[in-house]
Structure 1
Amino acid sequence: MIRLVRNLCAMGMAVLLAACAQVQTTQSGLVGVNRTQTMSSLVSEAELNQEAAAQYRQILAQAKAQGALDPSAAQTKRVQAISRKLINQVGVFRPDALNWSWEIHVLKSGEINAWCMPGGKIAVYTGFLDKIQPTDAELAAVLGHEISHALREHAREQVSRQMATGIGLSILSAVTGSQAVADLGSSLTQVMFTLPNSRSNETEADRMGVELAARAGYDPRAAITLWQKMERAGGGGTPEILSTHPSSQSRIADLRQAAAIVLPLYQGKR
Protein backbone atom coordinates (compact mmCIF):
# COMPACT_ATOMS: atom_id res chain seq x y z
CA MET A 1 0.00 0.00 0.00
CA ILE A 2 2.82 2.42 0.88
CA ARG A 3 4.53 1.75 -2.46
CA LEU A 4 1.23 2.31 -4.29
CA VAL A 5 0.68 5.66 -2.57
CA ARG A 6 4.25 6.73 -3.39
CA ASN A 7 3.83 5.78 -7.04
CA LEU A 8 0.52 7.60 -7.27
CA CYS A 9 2.02 10.69 -5.65
CA ALA A 10 4.87 10.66 -8.16
CA MET A 11 2.39 10.35 -11.00
CA GLY A 12 0.29 13.15 -9.53
CA MET A 13 3.26 15.49 -9.27
CA ALA A 14 4.12 14.81 -12.90
CA VAL A 15 0.57 15.67 -13.93
CA LEU A 16 0.63 18.86 -11.86
CA LEU A 17 3.91 20.04 -13.37
CA ALA A 18 2.72 19.30 -16.89
CA ALA A 19 -0.61 21.05 -16.33
CA CYS A 20 0.82 24.32 -14.98
CA ALA A 21 2.28 27.22 -16.91
CA GLN A 22 3.94 30.48 -15.88
CA VAL A 23 2.11 33.39 -17.49
CA GLN A 24 1.79 37.17 -17.33
CA THR A 25 -1.85 38.02 -17.93
CA THR A 26 -1.39 41.79 -18.17
CA GLN A 27 1.09 44.49 -18.98
CA SER A 28 2.57 46.22 -15.94
CA GLY A 29 1.17 49.73 -16.35
CA LEU A 30 2.65 52.68 -14.48
CA VAL A 31 1.94 51.00 -11.14
CA GLY A 32 4.26 48.11 -12.01
CA VAL A 33 2.23 44.90 -11.71
CA ASN A 34 4.82 42.35 -12.83
CA ARG A 35 4.20 39.17 -10.84
CA THR A 36 4.38 35.98 -12.89
CA GLN A 37 1.27 33.87 -12.37
CA THR A 38 0.79 30.10 -12.36
CA MET A 39 -2.18 28.88 -14.39
CA SER A 40 -3.40 25.35 -14.99
CA SER A 41 -4.03 24.17 -18.54
CA LEU A 42 -6.85 22.11 -17.05
CA VAL A 43 -8.96 25.30 -16.96
CA SER A 44 -8.58 27.68 -19.89
CA GLU A 45 -9.49 31.36 -19.94
CA ALA A 46 -12.23 30.63 -22.48
CA GLU A 47 -13.74 27.86 -20.35
CA LEU A 48 -13.80 29.98 -17.23
CA ASN A 49 -15.27 32.96 -19.08
CA GLN A 50 -17.98 30.72 -20.49
CA GLU A 51 -18.83 29.37 -17.04
CA ALA A 52 -18.84 32.90 -15.60
CA ALA A 53 -21.21 34.09 -18.33
CA ALA A 54 -23.57 31.20 -17.58
CA GLN A 55 -23.56 31.90 -13.85
CA TYR A 56 -24.05 35.62 -14.49
CA ARG A 57 -27.13 34.89 -16.62
CA GLN A 58 -28.53 32.77 -13.80
CA ILE A 59 -27.91 35.53 -11.26
CA LEU A 60 -29.60 38.12 -13.49
CA ALA A 61 -32.56 35.83 -14.18
CA GLN A 62 -33.08 35.21 -10.49
CA ALA A 63 -32.78 38.92 -9.71
CA LYS A 64 -35.28 39.78 -12.45
CA ALA A 65 -37.77 37.25 -11.12
CA GLN A 66 -37.47 38.85 -7.68
CA GLY A 67 -37.74 42.40 -8.99
CA ALA A 68 -34.15 43.01 -7.92
CA LEU A 69 -32.51 43.62 -11.32
CA ASP A 70 -31.60 47.26 -11.97
CA PRO A 71 -34.28 48.56 -9.57
CA SER A 72 -33.31 52.20 -10.09
CA ALA A 73 -32.78 53.48 -13.62
CA ALA A 74 -30.74 56.41 -12.28
CA GLN A 75 -28.41 54.18 -10.25
CA THR A 76 -27.93 51.77 -13.15
CA LYS A 77 -27.18 54.59 -15.58
CA ARG A 78 -24.59 56.02 -13.20
CA VAL A 79 -22.86 52.70 -12.56
CA GLN A 80 -22.81 51.84 -16.26
CA ALA A 81 -21.47 55.25 -17.28
CA ILE A 82 -18.56 55.10 -14.81
CA SER A 83 -17.86 51.45 -15.66
CA ARG A 84 -17.66 52.20 -19.38
CA LYS A 85 -15.14 55.00 -18.80
CA LEU A 86 -12.98 52.53 -16.90
CA ILE A 87 -13.44 49.79 -19.51
CA ASN A 88 -12.23 52.21 -22.19
CA GLN A 89 -8.87 52.25 -20.35
CA VAL A 90 -8.31 48.51 -19.85
CA GLY A 91 -6.16 48.31 -22.98
CA VAL A 92 -3.23 49.75 -21.05
CA PHE A 93 -3.11 46.48 -19.12
CA ARG A 94 -4.47 44.04 -21.72
CA PRO A 95 -5.71 45.16 -25.16
CA ASP A 96 -7.78 42.00 -25.72
CA ALA A 97 -10.05 42.96 -22.81
CA LEU A 98 -11.43 45.84 -24.87
CA ASN A 99 -13.22 43.16 -26.90
CA TRP A 100 -14.70 41.28 -23.93
CA SER A 101 -18.49 41.02 -23.73
CA TRP A 102 -18.76 43.43 -20.83
CA GLU A 103 -22.04 43.60 -18.91
CA ILE A 104 -22.93 45.95 -16.05
CA HIS A 105 -25.94 45.68 -13.75
CA VAL A 106 -27.15 46.81 -10.34
CA LEU A 107 -28.67 44.19 -8.02
CA LYS A 108 -31.03 45.00 -5.16
CA SER A 109 -29.39 43.70 -2.00
CA GLY A 110 -28.61 45.11 1.42
CA GLU A 111 -25.05 43.82 1.23
CA ILE A 112 -22.20 46.28 0.75
CA ASN A 113 -20.70 44.53 -2.24
CA ALA A 114 -19.59 44.72 -5.87
CA TRP A 115 -17.80 42.24 -8.11
CA CYS A 116 -16.58 41.53 -11.63
CA MET A 117 -16.60 37.95 -12.87
CA PRO A 118 -14.12 36.59 -15.46
CA GLY A 119 -14.73 38.05 -18.90
CA GLY A 120 -16.17 41.32 -17.60
CA LYS A 121 -19.49 40.53 -15.90
CA ILE A 122 -20.04 43.33 -13.36
CA ALA A 123 -22.56 43.73 -10.54
CA VAL A 124 -22.94 46.46 -7.93
CA TYR A 125 -25.32 45.98 -5.01
CA THR A 126 -27.73 48.69 -3.93
CA GLY A 127 -26.45 48.20 -0.38
CA PHE A 128 -23.09 49.56 -1.49
CA LEU A 129 -24.64 52.56 -3.24
CA ASP A 130 -27.15 53.38 -0.50
CA LYS A 131 -25.00 52.80 2.59
CA ILE A 132 -21.62 54.01 1.37
CA GLN A 133 -22.99 56.90 -0.71
CA PRO A 134 -19.83 56.90 -2.86
CA THR A 135 -18.74 59.88 -4.88
CA ASP A 136 -18.20 59.18 -8.57
CA ALA A 137 -14.46 58.88 -7.92
CA GLU A 138 -15.03 56.43 -5.04
CA LEU A 139 -17.39 54.38 -7.19
CA ALA A 140 -14.73 54.37 -9.91
CA ALA A 141 -12.24 53.12 -7.32
CA VAL A 142 -14.29 50.07 -6.35
CA LEU A 143 -15.23 49.32 -9.95
CA GLY A 144 -11.62 49.70 -11.07
CA HIS A 145 -10.52 47.35 -8.31
CA GLU A 146 -13.03 44.66 -9.28
CA ILE A 147 -12.35 45.05 -13.01
CA SER A 148 -8.65 44.61 -12.27
CA HIS A 149 -9.30 41.24 -10.63
CA ALA A 150 -10.86 40.13 -13.93
CA LEU A 151 -8.03 41.58 -16.03
CA ARG A 152 -5.44 39.73 -13.96
CA GLU A 153 -7.55 36.53 -14.08
CA HIS A 154 -7.28 36.16 -10.32
CA ALA A 155 -10.30 33.86 -10.32
CA ARG A 156 -8.63 31.53 -12.83
CA GLU A 157 -5.46 31.64 -10.78
CA GLN A 158 -7.34 30.54 -7.66
CA VAL A 159 -9.32 27.92 -9.56
CA SER A 160 -6.00 26.60 -10.89
CA ARG A 161 -4.81 26.16 -7.32
CA GLN A 162 -8.04 24.35 -6.47
CA MET A 163 -7.61 22.11 -9.50
CA ALA A 164 -4.07 21.28 -8.40
CA THR A 165 -5.30 20.47 -4.90
CA GLY A 166 -8.08 18.37 -6.42
CA ILE A 167 -5.60 16.36 -8.44
CA GLY A 168 -3.57 15.78 -5.30
CA LEU A 169 -6.67 14.66 -3.44
CA SER A 170 -7.69 12.41 -6.31
CA ILE A 171 -4.48 10.51 -5.74
CA LEU A 172 -5.78 9.65 -2.30
CA SER A 173 -9.21 8.84 -3.72
CA ALA A 174 -7.57 6.16 -5.85
CA VAL A 175 -6.70 4.47 -2.59
CA THR A 176 -9.75 5.40 -0.49
CA GLY A 177 -12.39 5.42 -3.22
CA SER A 178 -13.63 8.92 -2.28
CA GLN A 179 -14.59 11.66 -4.78
CA ALA A 180 -12.12 14.54 -4.54
CA VAL A 181 -12.21 16.86 -7.57
CA ALA A 182 -14.82 19.62 -7.65
CA ASP A 183 -16.29 20.75 -10.97
CA LEU A 184 -15.44 24.05 -12.60
CA GLY A 185 -18.75 25.69 -11.75
CA SER A 186 -18.55 25.08 -8.02
CA SER A 187 -14.89 26.11 -8.00
CA LEU A 188 -15.72 29.43 -9.66
CA THR A 189 -18.59 30.04 -7.24
CA GLN A 190 -16.29 29.46 -4.26
CA VAL A 191 -13.59 31.73 -5.66
CA MET A 192 -15.98 34.55 -6.56
CA PHE A 193 -18.25 34.59 -3.54
CA THR A 194 -16.67 32.66 -0.65
CA LEU A 195 -12.89 32.42 -0.62
CA PRO A 196 -10.77 35.49 0.20
CA ASN A 197 -8.32 36.85 -2.31
CA SER A 198 -4.63 36.58 -1.52
CA ARG A 199 -2.73 39.64 -0.33
CA SER A 200 -0.81 39.80 -3.61
CA ASN A 201 -4.04 39.65 -5.63
CA GLU A 202 -5.58 42.43 -3.55
CA THR A 203 -2.50 44.63 -3.90
CA GLU A 204 -2.48 44.16 -7.66
CA ALA A 205 -6.19 45.00 -7.95
CA ASP A 206 -5.72 48.06 -5.75
CA ARG A 207 -2.82 49.40 -7.81
CA MET A 208 -4.35 48.67 -11.19
CA GLY A 209 -7.69 50.05 -10.03
CA VAL A 210 -6.29 53.45 -9.14
CA GLU A 211 -4.50 53.61 -12.48
CA LEU A 212 -7.68 52.77 -14.39
CA ALA A 213 -9.54 55.44 -12.39
CA ALA A 214 -6.89 58.08 -13.03
CA ARG A 215 -6.79 57.34 -16.75
CA ALA A 216 -10.59 57.54 -16.85
CA GLY A 217 -10.52 61.01 -15.29
CA TYR A 218 -11.25 60.16 -11.65
CA ASP A 219 -9.13 61.24 -8.68
CA PRO A 220 -7.16 58.09 -7.71
CA ARG A 221 -6.89 59.31 -4.11
CA ALA A 222 -10.59 58.50 -3.72
CA ALA A 223 -9.60 54.84 -3.29
CA ILE A 224 -8.26 55.74 0.16
CA THR A 225 -11.44 57.43 1.37
CA LEU A 226 -13.52 54.62 -0.16
CA TRP A 227 -11.87 51.83 1.84
CA GLN A 228 -11.96 53.97 4.98
CA LYS A 229 -15.71 54.58 4.53
CA MET A 230 -16.38 50.88 3.97
CA GLU A 231 -14.52 49.94 7.13
CA ARG A 232 -16.57 52.47 9.12
CA ALA A 233 -19.78 51.15 7.55
CA GLY A 234 -19.18 47.80 9.22
CA GLY A 235 -20.30 49.18 12.57
CA GLY A 236 -18.22 46.58 14.40
CA GLY A 237 -18.99 43.91 11.77
CA THR A 238 -17.45 43.35 8.37
CA PRO A 239 -19.12 44.53 5.16
CA GLU A 240 -19.46 41.69 2.65
CA ILE A 241 -16.98 43.26 0.24
CA LEU A 242 -14.35 43.45 2.97
CA SER A 243 -14.86 39.82 4.03
CA THR A 244 -13.06 38.78 0.85
CA HIS A 245 -11.06 42.01 0.48
CA PRO A 246 -8.97 42.38 3.64
CA SER A 247 -8.00 45.90 4.64
CA SER A 248 -5.20 47.22 6.82
CA GLN A 249 -3.07 50.27 7.44
CA SER A 250 -0.41 48.81 5.14
CA ARG A 251 -3.03 48.62 2.41
CA ILE A 252 -3.92 52.29 2.87
CA ALA A 253 -0.23 53.17 2.70
CA ASP A 254 0.15 51.20 -0.53
CA LEU A 255 -2.90 52.92 -2.01
CA ARG A 256 -1.40 56.32 -1.17
CA GLN A 257 1.80 55.37 -2.95
CA ALA A 258 0.01 54.03 -6.02
CA ALA A 259 -2.29 57.06 -6.17
CA ALA A 260 0.72 59.38 -6.09
CA ILE A 261 2.29 57.55 -9.03
CA VAL A 262 -0.79 57.92 -11.26
CA LEU A 263 -1.97 61.32 -10.00
CA PRO A 264 -0.37 63.12 -13.00
CA LEU A 265 -2.60 61.03 -15.31
CA TYR A 266 -5.67 62.38 -13.53
CA GLN A 267 -4.36 65.92 -13.41
CA GLY A 268 -3.67 65.79 -17.14
CA LYS A 269 -7.34 64.99 -17.74
CA ARG A 270 -8.60 68.06 -15.86
Structure 2
Amino acid sequence: MRMLKRRQTIKKYTSMGLFVFLTACASGPRHLPPADGVKAGESSSFKNMVPASQLEASAVRQYDVMKQKAAKGNALAPDNHPQLIRLRTISKRILPYAQVWNPDSKSWKWEVNLFVSDQVNAFCMPGGKIAFYTGILEKLKLNDDEVAIVMGHEIAHALREHARDRIAKEQMTGLGANILSQALGLGGLGSQALGQGMQVLGLSFSRADEKDADLVGMDIAARAGYDPRAGISLWQKMGASSKDKPAEWLSTHPSGETRIYEMQRNMLDALKLYAKAKNTTVDQLPEYKL
Protein backbone atom coordinates (compact mmCIF):
# COMPACT_ATOMS: atom_id res chain seq x y z
CA MET A 1 0.00 0.00 0.00
CA ARG A 2 2.79 2.40 0.90
CA MET A 3 4.60 1.60 -2.35
CA LEU A 4 1.41 2.30 -4.32
CA LYS A 5 0.96 5.69 -2.62
CA ARG A 6 4.58 6.54 -3.28
CA ARG A 7 4.19 5.73 -6.98
CA GLN A 8 1.04 7.84 -7.12
CA THR A 9 2.92 10.72 -5.50
CA ILE A 10 5.78 10.42 -8.01
CA LYS A 11 3.27 10.38 -10.86
CA LYS A 12 1.57 13.48 -9.43
CA TYR A 13 4.80 15.47 -9.15
CA THR A 14 5.98 14.29 -12.56
CA SER A 15 2.73 15.50 -14.13
CA MET A 16 3.11 18.85 -12.39
CA GLY A 17 6.68 19.16 -13.65
CA LEU A 18 5.65 18.29 -17.18
CA PHE A 19 2.89 20.91 -17.04
CA VAL A 20 5.35 23.58 -15.89
CA PHE A 21 7.80 22.54 -18.61
CA LEU A 22 5.24 22.62 -21.43
CA THR A 23 3.81 25.94 -20.26
CA ALA A 24 7.26 27.55 -20.11
CA CYS A 25 8.31 26.25 -23.51
CA ALA A 26 5.09 27.39 -25.15
CA SER A 27 5.42 30.96 -23.88
CA GLY A 28 7.88 33.70 -24.65
CA PRO A 29 9.09 35.29 -27.91
CA ARG A 30 10.39 33.18 -30.79
CA HIS A 31 13.08 34.82 -32.89
CA LEU A 32 12.80 33.64 -36.47
CA PRO A 33 15.98 33.55 -38.57
CA PRO A 34 16.22 36.05 -41.46
CA ALA A 35 14.92 35.01 -44.86
CA ASP A 36 18.26 35.69 -46.53
CA GLY A 37 21.75 34.60 -45.60
CA VAL A 38 22.96 31.46 -43.86
CA LYS A 39 20.23 28.93 -43.12
CA ALA A 40 19.79 28.29 -39.42
CA GLY A 41 16.78 26.98 -37.58
CA GLU A 42 14.72 28.67 -34.89
CA SER A 43 16.30 29.08 -31.49
CA SER A 44 15.30 26.56 -28.84
CA SER A 45 12.08 27.16 -26.90
CA PHE A 46 13.63 25.67 -23.76
CA LYS A 47 15.17 29.06 -23.02
CA ASN A 48 11.77 30.52 -22.13
CA MET A 49 12.03 28.75 -18.77
CA VAL A 50 14.74 31.22 -17.74
CA PRO A 51 13.89 34.96 -17.47
CA ALA A 52 16.17 36.81 -19.86
CA SER A 53 16.41 39.83 -17.56
CA GLN A 54 17.55 37.66 -14.65
CA LEU A 55 20.22 35.94 -16.70
CA GLU A 56 21.49 39.19 -18.22
CA ALA A 57 21.71 40.81 -14.78
CA SER A 58 23.73 37.85 -13.53
CA ALA A 59 26.01 38.12 -16.56
CA VAL A 60 26.60 41.83 -15.95
CA ARG A 61 27.59 41.17 -12.34
CA GLN A 62 30.03 38.42 -13.32
CA TYR A 63 31.48 40.54 -16.13
CA ASP A 64 31.99 43.52 -13.79
CA VAL A 65 33.72 41.32 -11.21
CA MET A 66 35.99 39.98 -13.92
CA LYS A 67 36.90 43.50 -15.04
CA GLN A 68 37.58 44.62 -11.49
CA LYS A 69 39.91 41.72 -10.84
CA ALA A 70 41.70 42.31 -14.13
CA ALA A 71 42.09 46.01 -13.41
CA LYS A 72 43.66 45.29 -10.03
CA GLY A 73 46.16 43.00 -11.72
CA ASN A 74 46.89 45.45 -14.55
CA ALA A 75 45.34 42.94 -16.96
CA LEU A 76 42.51 45.14 -18.27
CA ALA A 77 43.59 46.92 -21.43
CA PRO A 78 43.10 50.72 -21.31
CA ASP A 79 40.83 52.47 -23.80
CA ASN A 80 43.82 53.67 -25.84
CA HIS A 81 45.25 50.17 -26.33
CA PRO A 82 45.65 49.67 -30.13
CA GLN A 83 44.13 46.19 -30.09
CA LEU A 84 41.13 47.35 -28.04
CA ILE A 85 40.58 50.25 -30.43
CA ARG A 86 40.70 47.72 -33.26
CA LEU A 87 38.17 45.43 -31.56
CA ARG A 88 35.74 48.25 -30.87
CA THR A 89 36.03 49.51 -34.43
CA ILE A 90 35.14 46.05 -35.77
CA SER A 91 32.28 45.74 -33.29
CA LYS A 92 30.77 49.03 -34.48
CA ARG A 93 30.46 47.51 -37.96
CA ILE A 94 29.12 44.18 -36.75
CA LEU A 95 26.67 45.06 -33.99
CA PRO A 96 24.04 46.83 -36.14
CA TYR A 97 23.42 43.45 -37.80
CA ALA A 98 22.86 41.64 -34.51
CA GLN A 99 19.23 42.74 -34.57
CA VAL A 100 18.66 40.66 -37.69
CA TRP A 101 18.98 37.56 -35.54
CA ASN A 102 17.60 38.89 -32.27
CA PRO A 103 15.52 42.10 -32.20
CA ASP A 104 15.85 42.24 -28.39
CA SER A 105 19.57 42.93 -28.77
CA LYS A 106 18.74 46.48 -29.81
CA SER A 107 18.27 47.36 -26.14
CA TRP A 108 21.39 45.56 -24.91
CA LYS A 109 24.18 47.66 -23.44
CA TRP A 110 26.98 46.28 -25.58
CA GLU A 111 30.48 46.45 -24.20
CA VAL A 112 33.85 45.32 -25.60
CA ASN A 113 36.92 44.85 -23.44
CA LEU A 114 40.36 43.35 -23.87
CA PHE A 115 42.08 41.27 -21.19
CA VAL A 116 45.86 40.90 -21.15
CA SER A 117 46.37 37.16 -20.99
CA ASP A 118 48.12 34.40 -22.95
CA GLN A 119 44.84 32.50 -23.17
CA VAL A 120 43.54 31.91 -26.69
CA ASN A 121 40.02 32.88 -25.77
CA ALA A 122 37.06 35.21 -26.35
CA PHE A 123 33.43 35.26 -25.27
CA CYS A 124 30.20 37.24 -25.27
CA MET A 125 27.93 36.99 -22.25
CA PRO A 126 24.12 37.34 -22.35
CA GLY A 127 23.19 40.97 -22.80
CA GLY A 128 26.16 41.82 -25.01
CA LYS A 129 29.23 41.79 -22.76
CA ILE A 130 32.15 40.93 -25.07
CA ALA A 131 35.67 39.99 -24.01
CA PHE A 132 38.79 39.17 -26.00
CA TYR A 133 42.10 37.96 -24.64
CA THR A 134 45.34 39.28 -26.12
CA GLY A 135 46.45 35.66 -26.58
CA ILE A 136 43.93 34.93 -29.33
CA LEU A 137 44.93 38.06 -31.24
CA GLU A 138 48.68 37.73 -30.88
CA LYS A 139 49.26 33.98 -30.99
CA LEU A 140 47.02 33.44 -34.00
CA LYS A 141 47.96 36.75 -35.65
CA LEU A 142 44.34 37.35 -36.62
CA ASN A 143 43.52 39.75 -39.44
CA ASP A 144 40.40 41.91 -39.22
CA ASP A 145 38.24 39.42 -41.11
CA GLU A 146 39.23 36.63 -38.72
CA VAL A 147 38.60 38.84 -35.69
CA ALA A 148 35.15 39.58 -37.11
CA ILE A 149 34.48 35.84 -37.45
CA VAL A 150 35.50 35.22 -33.83
CA MET A 151 33.42 38.17 -32.63
CA GLY A 152 30.48 37.09 -34.77
CA HIS A 153 30.68 33.57 -33.32
CA GLU A 154 30.68 34.82 -29.73
CA ILE A 155 27.92 37.35 -30.39
CA ALA A 156 25.89 34.57 -32.00
CA HIS A 157 25.98 32.59 -28.74
CA ALA A 158 24.37 35.57 -27.02
CA LEU A 159 21.91 36.35 -29.81
CA ARG A 160 20.74 32.77 -30.06
CA GLU A 161 20.58 32.64 -26.25
CA HIS A 162 22.56 29.43 -25.97
CA ALA A 163 23.45 30.10 -22.33
CA ARG A 164 19.81 30.69 -21.46
CA ASP A 165 18.84 27.48 -23.23
CA ARG A 166 21.62 25.53 -21.55
CA ILE A 167 20.66 26.76 -18.09
CA ALA A 168 16.99 26.02 -18.78
CA LYS A 169 17.87 22.42 -19.60
CA GLU A 170 19.94 22.18 -16.42
CA GLN A 171 16.96 23.54 -14.53
CA MET A 172 14.79 20.86 -16.09
CA THR A 173 17.25 18.28 -14.81
CA GLY A 174 17.10 19.97 -11.43
CA LEU A 175 13.32 20.06 -11.57
CA GLY A 176 13.23 16.35 -12.25
CA ALA A 177 15.58 15.73 -9.34
CA ASN A 178 13.51 17.97 -7.11
CA ILE A 179 10.27 16.19 -8.05
CA LEU A 180 11.84 12.84 -7.32
CA SER A 181 13.46 14.01 -4.09
CA GLN A 182 10.20 15.49 -2.82
CA ALA A 183 8.34 12.31 -3.66
CA LEU A 184 10.93 10.15 -1.93
CA GLY A 185 11.76 12.58 0.84
CA LEU A 186 15.41 12.94 -0.16
CA GLY A 187 15.83 16.71 0.18
CA GLY A 188 16.38 19.60 -2.25
CA LEU A 189 18.59 18.15 -4.97
CA GLY A 190 16.73 20.14 -7.60
CA SER A 191 17.23 23.45 -5.83
CA GLN A 192 20.97 22.83 -5.71
CA ALA A 193 21.04 22.16 -9.46
CA LEU A 194 19.09 25.37 -10.13
CA GLY A 195 21.55 27.41 -8.10
CA GLN A 196 24.52 25.97 -9.96
CA GLY A 197 22.83 26.67 -13.28
CA MET A 198 23.13 30.44 -12.97
CA GLN A 199 26.91 30.41 -13.36
CA VAL A 200 27.18 32.07 -16.77
CA LEU A 201 30.92 32.48 -17.22
CA GLY A 202 32.58 29.27 -18.36
CA LEU A 203 29.32 27.60 -19.33
CA SER A 204 29.98 24.93 -21.97
CA PHE A 205 27.88 24.70 -25.10
CA SER A 206 26.65 21.69 -27.03
CA ARG A 207 27.81 20.51 -30.44
CA ALA A 208 24.64 21.97 -31.98
CA ASP A 209 25.21 25.32 -30.23
CA GLU A 210 28.76 25.59 -31.56
CA LYS A 211 27.65 24.78 -35.10
CA ASP A 212 24.85 27.33 -34.82
CA ALA A 213 27.24 30.01 -33.56
CA ASP A 214 29.72 29.26 -36.34
CA LEU A 215 27.11 29.75 -39.05
CA VAL A 216 25.26 32.70 -37.52
CA GLY A 217 28.56 34.39 -36.69
CA MET A 218 29.75 33.97 -40.26
CA ASP A 219 26.44 35.45 -41.45
CA ILE A 220 26.74 38.52 -39.20
CA ALA A 221 30.36 39.16 -40.18
CA ALA A 222 29.47 38.91 -43.88
CA ARG A 223 26.59 41.36 -43.52
CA ALA A 224 29.05 43.81 -41.96
CA GLY A 225 31.38 43.53 -44.94
CA TYR A 226 33.93 41.08 -43.54
CA ASP A 227 35.00 38.14 -45.69
CA PRO A 228 33.30 34.96 -44.40
CA ARG A 229 36.07 32.86 -45.95
CA ALA A 230 38.16 34.01 -43.01
CA GLY A 231 36.30 31.38 -41.00
CA ILE A 232 38.24 28.70 -42.86
CA SER A 233 41.64 30.31 -42.27
CA LEU A 234 40.70 30.94 -38.63
CA TRP A 235 40.04 27.27 -37.92
CA GLN A 236 43.14 26.25 -39.83
CA LYS A 237 45.14 28.51 -37.52
CA MET A 238 43.31 27.18 -34.49
CA GLY A 239 44.07 23.62 -35.50
CA ALA A 240 47.75 24.36 -36.10
CA SER A 241 48.13 26.15 -32.76
CA SER A 242 46.36 23.42 -30.81
CA LYS A 243 48.30 20.36 -31.90
CA ASP A 244 50.27 20.15 -28.67
CA LYS A 245 47.81 21.80 -26.28
CA PRO A 246 44.18 22.54 -27.16
CA ALA A 247 43.31 26.22 -26.89
CA GLU A 248 40.61 27.16 -24.41
CA TRP A 249 38.53 28.73 -27.17
CA LEU A 250 38.81 25.55 -29.25
CA SER A 251 35.86 23.39 -28.27
CA THR A 252 36.39 19.64 -28.34
CA HIS A 253 33.10 19.32 -30.17
CA PRO A 254 32.74 19.62 -33.04
CA SER A 255 36.26 19.22 -34.41
CA GLY A 256 37.95 21.89 -36.47
CA GLU A 257 37.56 19.75 -39.62
CA THR A 258 33.83 19.43 -39.03
CA ARG A 259 33.46 23.15 -38.46
CA ILE A 260 35.34 23.96 -41.65
CA TYR A 261 33.15 21.52 -43.57
CA GLU A 262 29.94 23.12 -42.26
CA MET A 263 31.25 26.60 -43.08
CA GLN A 264 32.17 25.55 -46.60
CA ARG A 265 28.75 23.97 -47.03
CA ASN A 266 27.09 27.29 -46.18
CA MET A 267 29.71 29.57 -47.71
CA LEU A 268 27.76 30.58 -50.82
CA ASP A 269 24.92 32.04 -48.75
CA ALA A 270 27.45 33.99 -46.68
CA LEU A 271 29.34 35.17 -49.75
CA LYS A 272 26.12 36.59 -51.20
CA LEU A 273 25.76 38.75 -48.10
CA TYR A 274 29.42 39.77 -48.28
CA ALA A 275 29.11 40.66 -51.96
CA LYS A 276 26.01 42.73 -51.22
CA ALA A 277 27.89 44.60 -48.48
CA LYS A 278 30.69 45.28 -50.95
CA ASN A 279 28.21 46.34 -53.64
CA THR A 280 29.37 43.67 -56.05
CA THR A 281 28.54 40.09 -57.07
CA VAL A 282 29.92 36.80 -55.81
CA ASP A 283 31.65 36.19 -59.15
CA GLN A 284 33.47 39.51 -58.89
CA LEU A 285 34.77 38.98 -55.36
CA PRO A 286 38.57 38.80 -55.22
CA GLU A 287 40.28 35.62 -54.07
CA TYR A 288 40.67 35.49 -50.30
CA LYS A 289 44.27 35.85 -49.18
CA LEU A 290 45.82 35.91 -45.72
Using the size of structure 2 for normalisation, the TM-score is 0.84
> 2:247 aligns to what?
239
1:57 aligns to 2:96 (yes or no) = no
List gaps (5 residues or longer) in structure 2.
1-5, 279-290
What SS does the aligned partner of 2:132 have?
strand
Q: Structure 2 CA distance, aligned partners of 1:4 and 1:95?
A: 43
Q: Structure 1 CA distance, aligned partners of 2:195 and 2:114?
A: 23
The 5 Å alignment of 1:129-208 reads 129-174=137-182, 175-182=185-192, 186-189=196-199, 192-195=201-204, 197-208=205-216
The 5 Å alignment of 1:7-26 reads 7-21=12-26, 24-26=30-32
The CA RMSD over aligned residues, in Å, is 2.2
Task: Return the offset for 1:145.
Answer: 0.6
Contact 1:25–1:151 (8 Å) recurs in 2: no
List gaps (5 residues or longer) in structure 1.
none
Task: Return the offset for 1:102.
Answer: 0.1
1:219-260 C-alpha deviation (Å, 9 max, x unpaired): 100011101111211132211011366324232111012222
Count of aligned pairs: 268
Q: Structure 1 CA distance, aligned partners of 2:138 and 2:207?
A: 28
1:267 aligns to 2:275 (yes or no) = yes
Which segment drifts farther, 81-90 or 219-228?
81-90
How has the CA–CA distance of structure 1 residues 101 and 224 changed in structure 2, closer, same or farther, with 3 Å as cutoff? Answer: same
What SS does the aligned partner of 1:261 have?
helix
Contact 2:47–2:166 (8 Å) recurs in 1: no
Q: Structure 2 CA distance, aligned partners of 1:20 and 1:111?
A: 37
One of 66, 72, 95 as aligned partner of 2:73: 66
1:119 aligns to 2:127 (yes or no) = yes
Contact 1:24–1:34 (8 Å) recurs in 2: no
Q: Which residue identity does 1:176 align to in structure 2?
A: L
Using the size of structure 1 for normalisation, the TM-score is 0.90
What SS does the aligned partner of 2:177 have?
helix
Larger Rg: 2
One of 218, 231, 236 as aligned partner of 1:228: 236
Task: Return the offset for 1:207.
Answer: 1.2
Contact 2:211–2:259 (8 Å) recurs in 1: yes
Q: Structure 2 CA distance, aligned partners of 1:55 and 1:26?
A: 29
1:9-55 C-alpha deviation (Å, 9 max, x unpaired): 23322232223237533433411222351235442111111111111
How has the CA–CA distance of structure 1 residues 155 and 40 changed in structure 2, closer, same or farther, with 3 Å as cutoff? Answer: closer
1:118-141 C-alpha deviation (Å, 9 max, x unpaired): 010000011111111101000100
Contact 1:211–1:259 (8 Å) recurs in 2: no
Q: Structure 2 CA distance, aligned partners of 1:265 and 1:114?
A: 25
